[in-house]
Amino acid sequence: MSAKDIPSPVLENKDLLRYAAFINGQWVKEASEYFEVTDPASGKIIAKLPDQSVSDVEEAIDAAYDAFKTFENTTPRQRSTWLRNLFNLMNDNQEDLAKILTWENGKVLSEARGEIKYAASYFEWFAEEAVRSYGVTIQPGNSSNRAYTIRQPVGVCGMICPWNFPSAMITRKVAPAFAAGCTVVLKPDSQTPLSAIALAYLIDKAGFPKGSFNLVHSHANTPKIGLKLCESPKVKKITFTGSTNVGKILMKQSASTMKKLSLELGGNAPFIVFEDADIDEAIEQALACKFRGLGQTCVCANRFYVQSSIIEEFSEKLAAKVKQFVIGHGLQEGSTHGCLINQKAVKKVEEHAQDAIEKGAKIVLKGGPLPEIGETFYSPTILTRVPPSAKVSKEETFGPLCPIFSFDTLEEVIGYANDTNVGLASYVFSKDIDKIYTVAEALETGMVSCNTGIFSDVAIPFGGVKESGFGREGSLYGLEDYTIIKTVTIGNLPNRI
C-alpha cells in the first residue's frame, strides 16, 4: 500500500499538537519566516512552524537566565516532584506521543511506543537522582585548613537534538538538567519538532516554573542560532546529540566562552561474531540491533565481522529473517519497519552498497528503494565478503545496509574494529568468557555490548570516545554533567585539643 493512503493520526489529547515555540511560559507563533514539517513516509506536509531569528533565541536565553536565579534555589525534593509529575504525564499520554513521533519520524508505532517509555524513564530516574547529589570532605596539607566540595547547577543549558529519537534524545538531557537545577533552551531538529512541542506542553503541565524550559525552532536559521547559543555568555553549557561534523563546529564556537560541553556524536559500531557464539541468538540480536529505526540509531551495528568458518551460515540465516520484514508506513497495522528520514538518507545507503559491490562484495540479499510505497522506503541489502577498503568500513551508513566482513583471528578483528576515528558502541558474541573480557577491554568504544544487541537503558552510562564525543548521559554519572564542583576551604582553624 502507498504510504500516501494512510490517514493522519487521531489524538485523544489534541493539546499536545501545537504549531509554536515556547518561550518564557508563552506559546509563540509569530515569526517573519516559517518552515514546513513533512511526514517522511507519505511526503505530506503536517505542520508549519516559525523559523526563529537570533533575537527570538536571545529572548529565550534571557528567560532561561532570569528563571535560573530562582530555579537553582528550588529544593531537590521540589524538582524531583516536578520530574515525577512529568514522568506520569508522559505515561498518561503515551499512545498520543507515540503517534506524533511515528508521524514525524517514520519509525513504526511499536518502536515509537518503546521510545516514549524509554524517554519517560529519564524523568523517573532523575526524579530519584535529583535528591542524591553529593560532595566530599577533604583534609588539605595545611593542618589548620579543612575543605569540602559542593555540586552546583551549571546554569542555562543550550540543547541541540537530532531527529532519530525525537523524544528520548531530548528527555535524556532535560531530565538531568532539571534535576541539577539548570534551566533550558532547546532546539530540536526541524524534521521532528512535534515531539518536542508535546514535551514542552507536558513540562508546563508538570509545574516547572515559567522560563525554566524554552523551546525554539529553526530550519534555515539553524547555524546562526547554534552560534548564538554557543557564544552567549549567559549560556553556560552546550549539550548536543548529532553528527560528528556539527559537534566539531559547536565545540569550536563554544571556545570563545569556555562552555562546559557534552557531545554525543556519530558511531561506526562493529558487531563481532566468533565461531563459538550461539549463531541463531547472534542473528536475533543482530536483527534487533541493526534494524532499530531501520538502521538509523547511533548505536546500530554498521559493520558485521563474522569469523570466516561461519560467515556463509550467518549471512544466509540473516537474509532469511530479513526477507520476512513488512516495510510500510509506521502507522499502518502490520508494518514491522518504517521508512528513512529523507531522500538524502536513501542515497547514502545506495552509495555505500554500490561502493562495496564495486569493490568486490558479494550480494546475499538485494534490497533497494521501494517507490511503490514512498520515496523514503528502502528494503535492506545484505552483502558478504566485503573488502576492508569499502567506504562502509570507515563511515556510518545510518540505514538498512548489512555489510559482512570476514576475519580469522581475535587480534585481526580487534584491529579492524578499532580502525575508525569514532568509538561509540560495539558488540561481541562468543560463549568464551575469556574472549569476551579480552575483546571488551580492547575495543575503543564508550560502550561494549556482549551477547546482546540491545543495551540502551537509563541505568547505564551512555556516551562515546574518540570522535564520538564525550560526556555520559543517564546512569549515576548523568547528573554530574549538569553540575560544577565547587571547593570550599575553611582556614585558620584552631588546632585539635
Ligand X SMILES: NC(=O)c1ccc[n+]([C@@H]2O[C@H](COP(=O)([O-])OP(=O)(O)OC[C@H]3O[C@@H](n4cnc5c(N)ncnc54)[C@H](O)[C@@H]3O)[C@@H](O)[C@H]2O)c1
Question: Contact residues for ligand X (CB under 6 A)?
Answer: 160-164, 169, 187, 189-190, 222-223, 226, 241-243, 246, 249, 264-267, 298, 396, 398, 424, 464, 468
For this structure, is 264 an active site residue?
yes
Closest CA to 446 of 282, 283, 266, 289: 266
Binding of residue 68 to ligand O=CCCC(=O)O (CB under 6 A): no
Residue of 115, 124, 129, 264 marked catalytic: 264
How large is the angle between the packed helices 94-105 and 194-206, nearest 10 degrees? 160
Note whether 47 and 196 are within 8 A (CB): no
For residue 164, state whether it binds ligand O=CCCC(=O)O (rule: CB under 6 A). yes
Residue closer to ligand X (CB basis): 249 or 436: 249
C-alpha cell of residue 327: 516495510
Quick one: 78 or 243, whose CB is closer to ligand O=CCCC(=O)O?
Answer: 243
Applying CB under 6 A, among 103, 126, 163, 165 the residue interacting with ligand O=CCCC(=O)O is 165
468 binds ligand O=CCCC(=O)O (CB under 6 A): no
* Total Cβ atoms within 10 A of residue 470: 17
**Closest distance of CB 48 from ligand O=CCCC(=O)O, Å:** 27
Neighbour count for residue 139 (Cβ, 10 Å): 9
243 binds ligand O=CCCC(=O)O (CB under 6 A): no
Q: How far is the CB of 300 from ligand X (least distance, A)?
A: 8
The values of phi and psi at residue 102, to 5°, are -65, -40
Helix, coil or strand: residue 255: helix
Complex with ligand O=CCCC(=O)O: residue 130 or 289, whichever CB lies closer: 289
- Of the candidate residues 60, 161, 299, 319, the single one contacting ligand O=CCCC(=O)O (CB under 6 A): 299
Name which of ligand O=CCCC(=O)O, ligand X, none residue 112 binds, using a CB cut-off of 5 to 8 Å depending on partner kind: none
Whole-Å CA distances, 59 to 36, 161, 184: 23, 20, 12
Tell the smallest beta-carbon distance from residue 33 to ligand X (Å).
Answer: 15
Closer by beta carbon to ligand X, 194 or else 364: 194
Cβ-based neighbours of 284, under 8 Å, separated by 6 or more = 321, 453
Which of ligand X, ligand O=CCCC(=O)O, none interacts with 179 (beta carbon under 5 to 8 A by kind)?
Answer: none
Select the binding partner of residue 491 from ligand X, ligand O=CCCC(=O)O, none (C-beta < 5 to 8 A, by kind).
none
**CA dist list (Å): 360 to 153, 177, 339, 367, 446:** 54, 49, 28, 17, 32
Within 10 Å of residue 230's Cβ, how many Cβ atoms? Answer: 23
Element (H, E) at 37: strand 34-38
Q: Which helix (H) or strand (E) holds 372?
A: none
> The cell 552498497 sits on which residue?
353
What whole-number distance in Å separates Cα of residue 294 and Cα of residue 40?
13
Residue 447 sits in the site that holds ligand O=CCCC(=O)O (CB under 6 A): no
**Does 398 interact with ligand O=CCCC(=O)O (rule: CB under 6 A)?**
no
297 part of the interface to ligand O=CCCC(=O)O, by CB under 6 A: yes
Q: Which is nearer to ligand X, 125 or 274 (CB)?
A: 125
456 binds, among ligand O=CCCC(=O)O, ligand X, none (CB under 5 to 8 A by kind): ligand O=CCCC(=O)O
Question: Which amino acid, residue 158?
Answer: G
Sign of the C-alpha dihedral, residues 56, 239, 95, 214? Answer: negative
In angstroms, the first-to-last Cα distance of the chain is: 86
Supply the residues annotated as catalytic.
264
The residues binding ligand O=CCCC(=O)O (CB under 6 A) are 164-165, 297-299, 456
